[in-house]
Amino acid sequence: MKTRILLIAVILVLQSIFACKKDVSNPIELVGKWGTSNEWEDGYIYHEELNFKVDGSIEIIGSVIDLQTNTTKGYLNKEIGSYSLQGDNLVYTNMKSYRSDLPGYQKIEDLQHQHTQRKSSRKLQFNSTMNEITLYYGRCNDNAVCVGPKTYLKK
């Protein structure tokens, strides 16, 4: 009898562990800052930070960081707007894009509004420990400059 009760208890525990799927439709998991970096030029990296806020707004900042001093040298882009999760899709709305017409990085206040995109979406996937997200940008036609999947770490 004890063996049967123990076996049932073990089965229930295992079932509850495997039944708990991480639900990306819960935006609270997404709230906060996420970052990714890659080489830009010798001695510098391009760092992109996503800041998902509780109120449904998002800010995306692209900056250039000096690897030797670990300081921000300037900014390449900034986007602000709103986000929502629809299933496993991250949906951006009314994203205002700020960039500079000048080459290289600039002060953030020198970035100028370029355009507003009403709506776009990316497939979103969390890793198993919920400290990493990957955004998938979908297909691309032959003439476009394409972005592959990008992975961001929770800050």
Of residues 119 and 28, which shows the higher confidence score? 119
Q: What is the CATH code of the structural domain delimited by 31-154?
A: 2.40.128.300
- pLDDT, residue 95, reads 96
Of residues 44 and 145, which shows the higher confidence score? 44
CA distance 62 to 99: 10
Q: Which of 3, 6, 22 is nearest to 14 (CA)?
A: 6
CA distance 79 to 62: 9
Contact 64, 49 (CB under 8 A): no
Of residues 19 and 97, which shows the higher confidence score? 97
- pLDDT, residue 142, reads 66
Question: Cα dihedral sign for 20, 23, 27, 33?
Answer: positive
- pLDDT, residue 97, reads 96
Domain residue spans of the chain = 31-154
Q: Looking at this protein, which amino acid is placed at residue 72?
A: T
Give residue 9's pLDDT band: very low, low, confident or very high (50, 70, 90): very low
3-state secondary structure of 128: coil
Cα-to-chain-centroid distance, residue 151: 7
Q: pLDDT tens digits for 111-154? A: 999 999 999 999 999 999 999 999 998 777 666 667 789 999 99
